[in-house]
Every structure is written in structure tokens, then in C-alpha cells.
Amino acid sequence: MRFTLLAALMTLGVVAAFAAGTAASTVGAPGGKAMTRSIHQFTVRTIDGKDRSLGEYRGKVLLVVNTASKCGFTPQYEGLEALYEKYRARGFEVLAFPANNFMGQEPGTDTEIAQFCDLNYKTTFPLFSKVSVKGTDITPLYAWLTKQPGFEGDIGWNFTKFLVGPDGHVLARYGSRTEPRNEKLVAQIEAALPAMKE
């Protein structure tokens, strides 16, 4: 009887330890920090200085882009705005994060960047406060984006694009040379959008 009780307790202990280990591997990380499993868990600052939870975009398809005002790819702002205007009613958002990581091509303040985008490209999609997208001071959002399985690697230049699905997971990554109206990118956006009439 005593042996049977001891064996049962040991079994329960093993099961409990296994369950605890499984839970830790799925919802936690070394050091007791919670793992970030989707883009919706980040809070970022808008270009006018307000905190915004990316959880507000849950259920929407996102194109996250690091932008710059003095880059050879800066005219892509026009294509980004065109995409936004075409698909926003179906649940699509462009999230632009100005960054000065590449040859000082985004030297302006948030106010100057906002004015530049409005005057030159009439952008209406969300602009966020200037961030760092690589290096030791990389912003947490980009640290996460650049470590997603299948899409890993440092940002190479301005206007790198991450397509994020309604569930907050990365679907695709495109380099600077991929224009916003690239056929493959547009097809992936359309495939990810909720089914509805335009």
C-alpha cells in the first residue's frame, strides 16, 4: 500500500513537472519574461507623441515599413498611400516607422517628417515616431520582426516591408526594391484580407 501511494505521488510529480515545463516553453522565456507571440502585444508612439497599442489593429492586415525622407526609395510613399486608399476599407493598414539608420537619410524631427509626408505625398496612413530599426538601440518592435522564423535578419535599408496577418503574425518580408504595388505583394495582401466586396 505504501509503495503504491509513493509510486502514485511520484507519477503525479512527473506529470506536474512536465506540465509546468510545457507551460514555460509556450508562454514564458528564460528569466521569467513572457514571450511576445504577435505584433499586437507592442505599444508604440505615434508621430504626434501618443502611445498606441498595436492591439488596436487586431483583425487587420498590416504592412509595416521603415521609411526615410531623403532616400532613393522615398517616392514609395506614393505607392504606399495608393495601397492604403485602395484596401483600407477592407481592413488594411500601412504602419510607417521613420528611421535614421542608413546614411542619415531621415534626419528630421517627428514634426518635420509629418510635414514632409503631408506636403509631398499627402499621406493619410499612420506615421509613428522615429525609431531605430537595427543595432544596439533597435526598438523592441523591430527586434521582434527581424527574429521571426523564416523572416530573420537585420534590416538592410529603408523601405523594408513586413506583411502581417490579422492574427498578428508575419506573413512575408520584402526588401527595399519591392515597390508597394508589386504584383506578388498585392496578391498576398488581397489573399490575407477578410473576404468581402470592395
The amino acid at residue 126 is P
The residue among 66, 156, 149 whose CA lies nearest residue 113 is 66
The question of whether 117 is a catalytic residue gets the answer: no
- Strand 61-67 and strand 161-164: pairing? antiparallel
The C-alpha cell of 106 is what? 531621415
Buried/exposed 106-139: b ≥16 CB within 10 Å, e otherwise: bebebeebbebbeeebebebbbbbbbbbbeeebb
Q: Which residue carries 522564423 as its cell?
A: 149
CB 137 within 8 A of CB 108: no
Catalytic residue among 46, 71, 148, 151: 71
- Alpha helices, DSSP H only, in 90-153? 110-121, 140-145
CA distance 89 to 105: 32
Residue 43 CB-half CA count within 13 A:
5
Q: How many CB atoms lie within 10 A of CB 143?
A: 13
Q: Collapsing DSSP states into helix, strand and coil, what is residue 184?
A: helix
Catalytic positions: 71
